[in-house]
Amino acid sequence: MAIVKAEKTPARAAPLSERSLIGWLHKNIFSSSFNTILSIVTLYVIYITVNEVWHWGFADAVWFADSRRQCFEISTDGACWAGVIGWMDSIFYGRYPRDELWRINLGGLLVVLWMVPLWLPRVKAKVFIGLSTVFLYPFLAGYLFSGGGKGVFMQVMVTLAIVCLMGNTLHSVISLIKGISLPEFLIRAFGKSTAPEKTQHYLLLGILFCSFVAVYYWQSSWQVEAVSWTKWGGLFLTLVVSGIGIASALPGGIILALGRRSNLPFIRVVSIGFIELFRSVPLITVLFMATTMFPLFMPEGFVLNKLVQVIIAVCLFNACYMAETVRAGLQAIPKGQFEGAHSIGLGYWQTMGAVIMPQALKHMIPNIVGSFIGLFKDTTLVSIIGLFDILGVLRAVGKDVTWLGLHIEPLVFGALLFFLICFAMSKYSRHLEVKFSTGLKNMTPNKRNKS
C-alpha cells in the first residue's frame, strides 16, 4: 500500500450554510415563503407583547411610592410595584411577628443545611440523611415556628434533631475533606481503629449519649416566644403546607402502592378504594370535607385547628396521587427481578426494600418531582377555605386602604414567584431524567427527542 500523504488531512470547515447566522436564519426562519410570512407575523406578535409588558412592567412602572394615589400621580399606565414592595414582608411571612422573622429564616436555612449533603457525591449514608430530614427536621422546625413551652416529648425530639443535624453536618464536612465517614473519623481520633468491633460500638454509643445529654441540657433552657398558627401566612405557610404534604406523600404513596399491588385481596381492595376515592374528586372538595367533617369525626371536646385539618387533607390527597406514580414505577420493573429475588430466598419486605424499590424509585424521581410541582401549585387552594397563604396575602393587598384596588400587580408577582420555583423544579426533573436514562438509551426509538 502506498502512502500518499503522511499527515491526516485536516477536516474542512462545515459549509457556510451550516455555520453562519444567515444559514441558520435561512434554515429555521425563512425556509419557505409560507414560513417567512409565519415568521414575520410571529415577530410582530412578539414585538407587541414584549413592548406592552416592557412598558407596563418596567419603563412606566412606579417602584417607590407611599400609596396607590401617589403611584397614579407619577404614572397612570405603568404597574405600581411600590405596593408589592411595601407588602413584601407579608407576602413572604404573613402576619408573623416582625421581630421573630429570624426563626422562619433559620428554619429555612436549617433545612438547606440538612439536605445539601444529599447532592454531594462524596458523602455516604444518604438514605439516613434523607430519612432524618423527613422524620426529625419537622419537630425542630415545628418548635422553631410555633415556639412556647416544650413537653418532654418535644424536648427529646428537638434534642434528637439537633444532635442529628450536628452529626450530619460534621459527617459531610469530614467526608468532603478526608473522604471517610464520621464514625470512622471518631474511632481514628480516639486511636481505637485496631480495637475490636464491640469497643468501637461502645465508644460511638458513648459519644452519641454524651452529645445527647449535653444538647438536652442546653436546649432545655432555650425557649422562644409562642406564635399562634393564625399568624402564619404568606409563602411561608404555603411552603409549610406543601412541605409537609411532600414529605408525607412519598412514604404514604409507597405504602398505598404496595397495598394496591399486594396479593392479599382485602388489603388490595382497601388500597384501591382509598386511592380511587381521593384521586377522582377535586382537592377543593377534600378540603371542604376536612373542615366540615373532621370536627364530627373527633371525640367530643377535641378540636383540631384549621391548619391541621388542611394539612391532613393535603397529605391524604397527595399520598393517593403519589401512590399512582409509585405504582407506575413498580410496573416498569421487569418480572424477572421479582422472580430473581424470590429464588435467592428473599421475603416480601426484603424483595421490595433491597431489590425492587431502589430500582423503581430511581426511575420514578422525574415523575415524583413532577408531582411535587403539581402539589406545590395546588396548595394555593387553601386560600379558598380561609387560610392566609400566599394567594390570600396577594389578594389582601388590594383591600388595604393605602393600596386600594391594587389587584393585578400582586397577582403577577405571585405568578412570577411560582413560575420561578416550578420552572426550576421542572428543569431539574428533566435533567434527572436525562441523567438516569443512561442505561436505557437504546430503548428510546427517537434520537431527535432531545429537549
Q: How many residues bind another protein (CB under 8 A)?
A: 62
Q: Out of 337, 350, 402, 426, point to the residue binding another protein (CB under 8 A).
A: 426
Q: Is 22 in the site for another protein (CB under 8 A)?
A: no
Please list, in sequence order, all residues whose beta carbon lies within 8 angstroms of the beta carbon of residue 449, skipping any fewer than 6 positions away. Answer: none
Minimum distance of another protein from residue 307's CB (angstroms): 19
Which residues in the 193-222 window bind another protein by CB under 8 A? none
Minimum distance of another protein from residue 448's CB (angstroms): 6
Q: Out of 39, 75, 359, 367, point to the residue binding another protein (CB under 8 A).
A: 39
Residue 62, SS3 per DSSP? strand
Q: Out of 204, 312, 384, 432, point to the residue binding another protein (CB under 8 A).
A: 384
As a whole number of angstroms, the distance between CA 429 and CA 431 comes to 5
Among 264, 263, 164, which residue's Cα sits nearest to residue 211?
164
Return the C-alpha torsion angle 276, 277, 282, 285, nearest 10. Answer: -170
Q: Is 423 in the site for another protein (CB under 8 A)?
A: yes
Q: Is 20 in the site for another protein (CB under 8 A)?
A: no
Q: Within 55-151, where are the H helices?
A: 68-74, 81-86, 88-93, 101-115, 126-135, 137-146
Q: How far is CA 428 from the centre of its chain?
A: 11
Query: 152-178 and 137-146 are packed helices; what angle lies between their axes, rounded to 10 degrees?
Result: 120
Q: Is 419 in the site for another protein (CB under 8 A)?
A: yes
> In what helix (H) or strand (E) does residue 193 lie, and over which residues does it extend?
none
Q: Applying CB under 8 A, which part among 3-11, 177-185, 326-334, 371-379 lies near another protein? A: 371-379
Q: Out of 411, 432, 433, 436, point to the residue binding another protein (CB under 8 A).
A: 411
Minimum distance of another protein from residue 447's CB (angstroms): 7
Please list, in sequence order, all residues whose beta carbon lies within 8 angstroms of the beta carbon of residue 132, skipping any fewer than 6 positions away. Answer: 114, 164, 168
> In what helix (H) or strand (E) does residue 20 lie, and over which residues does it extend?
none
Q: What are phi and psi of 89, to 5 degrees?
A: -55, -45
Name residue, grid cell 477536516: 11
Which residues in the 270-309 window bind another protein by CB under 8 A? 270, 276-277, 279-285, 288-289, 292-293, 295-300
Q: Name the residues that contact another protein, by CB under 8 A.
A: 28-29, 31, 35, 38-39, 42-43, 45-46, 263-267, 270, 276-277, 279-285, 288-289, 292-293, 295-300, 373, 377-378, 380-381, 383-384, 391, 394-395, 398, 407-408, 411-412, 414-415, 418-419, 422-423, 426, 445-449
